[in-house]
């Protein structure tokens, strides 16, 4: 009986170790991936964008995002990317982060506080990069319509009460344009392989899109 129990404990311990190594492997691989993974692993924070066409034209007509399921965004500091829902209202775009007052939200959700500290992001939609600035919003005539859009688009019509915003359980961010002429730098975390050159926005000489993919060796030699 004791021998059988010992074998069961060894098997259980081995399975737990294997699962732990798998989780660690996924987290490490994600940090070196070009943006978030697809599918179920999309919730894992991933590495900075290494590909995409930089949008340098006028402010887009964001209505094309009204029924667009998910988008990707990357903070510039720290340089990590995530998949998120997005809401469009009156040609303004918003993302939210829920469960902020829960114990698991406090463990899992670090990016909202990071975005408050430094709101510079890159929004990637269908391969196009849009430099934006995140700004948290807690009041305004547009908040209720954005919550209604969240309900319509993702929650099957279930009402999202304003108390979610006022109590801080749901953080809402507007994705605003960045200032003209502001330099954008994409950086891999310390010791990473990808360093993109500064991309100057709003310059009269800039037209169309600029390719942001570069090799680390080429950039380092330059």
pLDDT tens figures, 111-147: 999 999 999 999 999 999 999 999 999 999 999 999 9
> Which of residues 11 and 218 earns the better pLDDT score?
11
Q: Which residue ranges make up each domain of the chain?
A: 32-221
pLDDT confidence tier of residue 186, bands split at 50, 70 and 90: very low
Q: What is the CA radius of gyration of the chain?
A: 21
pLDDT at 164 over 80: yes
Phi and psi at 125, nearest 5°, equal -130, 115
Identify the architecture of domain 32-221 in CATH: Roll (2.30)
For residues 7 and 13, the answer to whether their CB atoms sit within 8 Å is: no
pTM of the model: 0.70
pLDDT at 12: 56
pLDDT confidence tier of residue 85, bands split at 50, 70 and 90: very high
pLDDT at 50: 86
How many angstroms separate the CA atoms of 149 and 88, rounded? Answer: 8
Q: SS3 string of 79-120?
A: CCEEEEECEEECCEEEEEECCCCCHHHHHHCCHHHHHHHCCE
For residues 170 and 96, the answer to whether their CB atoms sit within 8 Å is: yes
The mean pLDDT value of the chain amounts to 75
């Amino acid at each position: 009986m004791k021998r059988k129990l010992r074998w069961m404990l060894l098997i259980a311990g081995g399975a737990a170790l294997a699962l732990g190594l798998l989780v660690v492997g996924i987290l490490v691989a994600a940090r070196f991936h070009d943006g978030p993974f697809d599918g179920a692993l999309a919730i894992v924070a991933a590495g900075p964008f290494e590909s995409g066409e930089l949008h340098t034209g006028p402010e887009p007509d964001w209505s094309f995002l009204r029924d667009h399921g998910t988008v990707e965004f990357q903070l510039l500091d720290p340089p990590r990317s995530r998949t998120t829902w997005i809401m469009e209202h009156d040609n303004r775009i918003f993302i939210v982060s829920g469960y902020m007052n829960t114990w698991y939200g406090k463990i899992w959700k670090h990016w909202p506080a990071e975005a408050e500290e430094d709101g510079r992001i890159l929004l990637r939609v269908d391969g196009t990069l849009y430099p934006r600035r995140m700004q948290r919003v807690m009041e305004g005539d547009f908040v209720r319509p954005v919550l209604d859009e969240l309900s319509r688009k993702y929650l099957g019509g279930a009402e999202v009460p304003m108390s979610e915003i006022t109590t801080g359980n749901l953080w809402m961010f507007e994705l605003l344009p960045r200032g003209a002429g502001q330099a954008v730098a994409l950086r891999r975390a310390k010791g990473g392989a990808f360093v993109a050159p500064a991309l100057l926005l709003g310059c009269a000489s800039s037209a169309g899109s600029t390719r942001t993919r570069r090799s680390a060796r080429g950039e380092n030699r330059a």
